[in-house]
Structure 1
């Protein structure tokens, strides 16, 4: 289970941001402060996002799954942001298709082979429209964690 180590410190609900860059700053600083990522992490996120967008529309809800190369990571983690209002990202695999993201799953991947596993596990949980809607309505960090763990357990 990739979610078993999900910590409240890595979940930000009611996150206010005007741009993807602000999202990177807020969530990225959390990963840095908690010791998961190096100081270079935020700049690396921004640079990678320009070339490899991370937005995805799922069941009418925009999500983004930004991440970087392992050289900017001390140890693996997932930080989650539930935005107050959607922020513009671009669709994975495009450079011009907009995704208005409400949920951010920021990956700190320290093992390149784990990267695809992380993405698959996240997408597996998020394929359920009810789970997605529930996450966008969460006000409490514990609720975010519980919804994700319950969904993952139901898939096991």
Structure 2
């Protein structure tokens, strides 16, 4: 169900960014150049993240799930990003600061599917074996394969 949203072209495990703005600029330009995001995507990310922080803390991993309103998404995608340095991020809900270098940018065209996708991601990151494999994945191909396999199972 969600596995089609992953694409090895949308995996970058060594982004050199020192702020959320730098990360949003990098991912946004990349997603736009590959036809997944529309103009306004970067500003949409910045505004939405400022209003609704997306950081999540799991037992062995911190992760952020930045996303935008559907009009900025050309076709559904999940962009998997890892930064070379951890960035300060605000947690979803209580907005307390945390640090993370792991990001899944959600490009959702149908808002009705957002809740199910978030639930699937949260379930996946509660699996300790999956987290170990996620953190160990060091190539775009390995990461894409891991995510496709996991989210094929989750949706089944």
User: What is the TM-score of this pair, normalised by structure 2?
Assistant: 0.90
SS in 1 for 2:3: coil
* Structure 1 residues 5 and 112: alpha-carbon distance in aligned structure 2, compared to 1, 3 A threshold: closer
Give the length in aligned residue pairs. 155
Residue 45 (structure 2) aligns with: 45
* Structure 1 residues 5 and 45: alpha-carbon distance in aligned structure 2, compared to 1, 3 A threshold: closer
Residue 93 (structure 2) aligns with: 93
Unpaired segments ≥5 residues, structure 1 = none
SS in 2 for 1:26: helix
Stretches of 4+ moved more than 6 A in 1? none
Residue 92 of structure 1 and its aligned partner are, at CA, apart by 0.1
Residue 102 of structure 1 and its aligned partner are, at CA, apart by 2.1
Residue 5 of structure 1 and its aligned partner are, at CA, apart by 4.1
Unpaired segments ≥5 residues, structure 2 = none
Residue 11 (structure 1) aligns with: 11
Q: Is the 8 A contact 1:83 1:102 kept in 2?
A: yes
Q: Is the 8 A contact 2:78 2:107 kept in 1?
A: yes
Residue 57 (structure 1) aligns with: 57
Q: Is the 8 A contact 1:6 1:78 kept in 2?
A: yes
Residue 28 (structure 1) aligns with: 28
Distance 2:122 2:49 in 1: 19
| Cα deviations by residue, 1:67-126 (Å, 9 ceiling, x for unpaired) | 01112112211100022221111000123x112112100011111111112212222222
- Shifted more, 130-139 versus 68-77: the winner is 130-139
* Structure 1 residues 153 and 47: alpha-carbon distance in aligned structure 2, compared to 1, 3 A threshold: closer
Distance 1:19 1:117 in 2: 29
Residue 33 of structure 1 and its aligned partner are, at CA, apart by 1.1
Distance 1:72 1:5 in 2: 16
Distance 2:74 2:5 in 1: 15
Residue 154 of structure 1 and its aligned partner are, at CA, apart by 4.7
